[in-house]
Amino acid sequence: MTNFYADLGLKTDNTNREIFINSPRNFLIEQAVRKGHGSLTEDGSLVVLTGKHTGRSAGDKYVVKSPSTEKTIWWENSLNEMTYENFEKLKAKVVNYLNQDGKDLFITERSVGAVAEHNIGVRTITDHPSHALFSKHLFRPKMRDFKSSDFTILHAPELEIDPAEFKTKTGTVIATCFDTNTTIIVGTLYAGEIKKSMFCIMNYVLPEKDVLPMHAGACRMENEDVSIFFGLSGTGKTTLSTDEGTYLIGDDEHGLSDEGVFNFEGGCYAKTYKLSKETEPGIFDASNRFGALLENVVLDKKTGKVDFFDKSIAENGRSSYPLRFIEGLEKTSKGKVPNNIFFLTADAFGVLPPIAKLTKEQAMFYFVLGYTSKLAGTEIGVKEPQATFSPCFGAPFMLRHPSEYAKLLGVYLDRYDIDVWLVNTGWTGGAYGVGQRFPLHVTREIIRTIQANKLNKELVETDPIFGLRIPQEVGTVSHTLLNPQKSWDKEADYQQKAMELATSFHKQMKSFGDFYSENIGGAPTYGA
């Protein structure tokens, strides 16, 4: 064992346990089954359960407050403060827990980011072989020797702590200290916390290098042109970034520098509810082979078959696997500076157009707005569509103020003349329950037309409420679909609903103070 782990306090003299570093996937799978942490499907996928935590614990995220973070962290973003003293006390407890006699440890030495200049090394130390497997999937192979600027994840998912002892809300804690480059995860078996903790770190570190971190999918065309797709859950980010005839750079987390786009991850973490060979063949095939890791799916242990349509354990079932399990992949995980950026929104009010060209100011406004809709029935008490906002299309993972990311986006838009488009993958002809959702083939035709440079950018109309420039000819898409007010039975009803939504945009953005007032030129024309 290297000096680093000894200096951390990990003991090597426990005769009843072993420490495994950078073990192969097949060994980690074997260990998970042997320890009773998981079972194999008929195809060899490893199935595990994560107990009461089947998703992220959004209210249990902590950052150590220090002179280096006090004024740089966006504390209002549901982030909890932790003192350095409490963090170090928790760290000592975790190390002591991991040093228990008879407790095997599984360590992976990986990295995040496909570009060496912006890559961050990450050591994951856990007593669960399945989580070591997850880190091998989602993090990339190590690109270089570790440096002091790299990070360590101390992962003790079954450790129970007393919240009063560490001044935490619950016994679940995901805490990061940027002074020691350490993240601690306790009290949750949900593997996604490992991936997202490093995404948050990249989001915090990269802007200091003038690199824009993005919660977005990316793909390249045959001619090397690159498209970026920002979007919250349910807007079509993964679907549209994996279109036929394109090469997937990545489906979730990327950086943008002067050298181009690069993927952070070494694998995918896909939702599995209603997964089928017919609808998502690539994800289905990758999830049903030896080496894949399935969380919270229903397995018939007699037949070894998985029922992806059974959500009795959790609707947020997940599959993780390495990128090499995917066909149609850009193997370098990199691409040039994008030609087009698409902001995807599922507007359940049915008033936004299916496509609109944004000015730079509008792009920065809508980027910080991060608008989509909650639908009736998706949460307790939601009885009709509600506007919801996630700045930068990924607020839970953005540790800096959204204006910092938006200004960096503006720099790249100016420097490379990137086209930015607002794409409504939601409803038309009326709100949810009255109108219909834009057919996927329509959205695909619009995006393919833009990607092929076949759109007449001069033939546009400006919407009087949102100030959006709407193309009037896009392939075979009907004029009525392109202009939402014309698809409603009563234009007065459209006007009322559109003005309500525009007003909500202004209300949301006013909370950003100076950024809002400085970028009012990008705002909807109504509701200021």
Q: Which residues are catalytic?
A: 56, 196, 215, 233, 237-238, 252, 318
Helix (H, G, I), strand (E, B) or coil at 435: coil
Measured in whole angstroms, the distance separating CA 392 from the mean position of its chain's CA atoms is 11
Q: How many residues does the chain have?
A: 528
How many Cα atoms occupy the beta-carbon half-sphere of 362 within 13 Å? 17
* Distance from the Cα of residue 243 to its chain's centroid: 19
CB 150 within 8 A of CB 122: yes
Q: How many CA atoms lie within 13 A of 399 on its CB side?
A: 30
Identify which of 321, 279, 275, 314 has the alpha carbon closest to the alpha carbon of residue 297. Answer: 314
Q: How far is it, in rounded angstroms, from Cα 18 to Cα 281?
A: 40
Dihedral sign (CA 51, 53, 55, 56): negative
- C-alpha 524/C-alpha 511 separation (Å) is 16
Give CA–CA dist 413/488, Å, rounded.
34
- In the three-class reduction of DSSP (H, G, I as helix; E, B as strand; rest coil), residue 449 is classed as helix
Q: How far apart are the first and last CA of the chain?
A: 62
Other CB atoms within 10 A of residue 26 CB: 12
Written as six digits, the tokens of 279 are 């609808």
According to DSSP, the residues that pair with 152 across neighbouring strands are 123, 182
Instruction: Return d(Cα 295, Cα 193) in angstroms, integer.
Output: 13
CB-based contact 230:254 (threshold 8 Å)? no
Question: Residue type at 352?
Answer: L
Which neighbouring-strand residues pair with 155?
126, 185
CA distance 30 to 133: 11
